[in-house]
Amino acid sequence: MRHSLVSIRTPAALLASVLVLSLLPSAMAAQGGGMMGRGRGRGMMGDSTAAAVMPIVHDLMTNHQKLRRTVTVLSNGVRTVTESDDSSMVAQLQAHVATTGVLMARSQDLNVPPASPTLRQLLARGATVTRVVEHTPKGVIVTETSTDSTSVALLQAHAAEVTELVNRGMAAMHDKMMPRMRPPPR
């Protein structure tokens, strides 16, 4: 089985990745789960992985109008460029990309209801994806490829989902989340 490859192209990207790799396990253990990481038990947001990831996702979605994104669909994956003129958004983008890289390398699910089925399947297949991350002064360029056709389709579908989140923010997240949280009809 092929393992995920993460290629770091800048010193800042290396530093951010090392920081995320070193802090994620302790942040996950310290948080102990909770709704958006705020200590309310495991609840809606799943486990400690969610507690470590969701606050950044929430900030990115709340401030989506400060982000811009382009996606190039490749025959074997995607190349995405996500940027902002706001330095705090840039830092959060770079941290988020580093964290998701760790999750993909571990084939680890986020364990959160808002996560799309596409993302869950993609994370489970993380070992089939090659990921090249480049930090820019305004954000991040991520090229994700695979020789596995299912993973390629998932990469392309998830890139479209993330673009919708960048364009519509929390409204897009709620549209995706709410149908899965409703009880089935009787």
Listing DSSP states for 66-111 in one string gives GEEEEEEEETTEEEEEEEESSHHHHHHHHHHHHHHHHHHHHT----
Q: β-pairing, 129-136 with 5-8?
A: parallel
The whole-model pTM stands at: 0.71
Q: How far apart are CA 46 and CA 89, in angstroms?
A: 25
- Nearest Cα neighbor of 109 from 21, 50, 163 is 50
Q: Are 74 and 64 in contact (CB under 8 A)?
A: no
CA dihedral 144, 172, 91, 135 (to 10 degrees): 20
Q: What is the predicted pLDDT for the residue at 184?
A: 58
β-partners of residue 92 are none
Q: What is the predicted pLDDT for the residue at 33?
A: 38
At 132, is the secondary structure helix, strand, or coil?
strand
Instruction: Show the tokens assigned to 95.
Output: 């941290």
Which alpha helices (H) appear in 107-148, and where do they start and end? 117-124
Q: What is the predicted pLDDT for the residue at 47?
A: 57
Q: How far apart are CA 22 and CA 38, in angstroms?
A: 21
Half-sphere exposure of 57 (CA within 13 A, CB side): 21
pLDDT of the chain, 186 residues: tens digit per residue: 333 444 444 444 444 444 444 444 444 343 333 333 333 334 444 556 667 778 888 889 889 999 999 999 999 999 999 999 999 999 999 999 998 888 888 888 877 766 788 989 999 999 999 999 999 999 999 999 999 999 999 999 999 999 998 998 887 776 765 554 555 566
Q: How far apart are CA 143 and CA 137, in angstroms?
A: 17
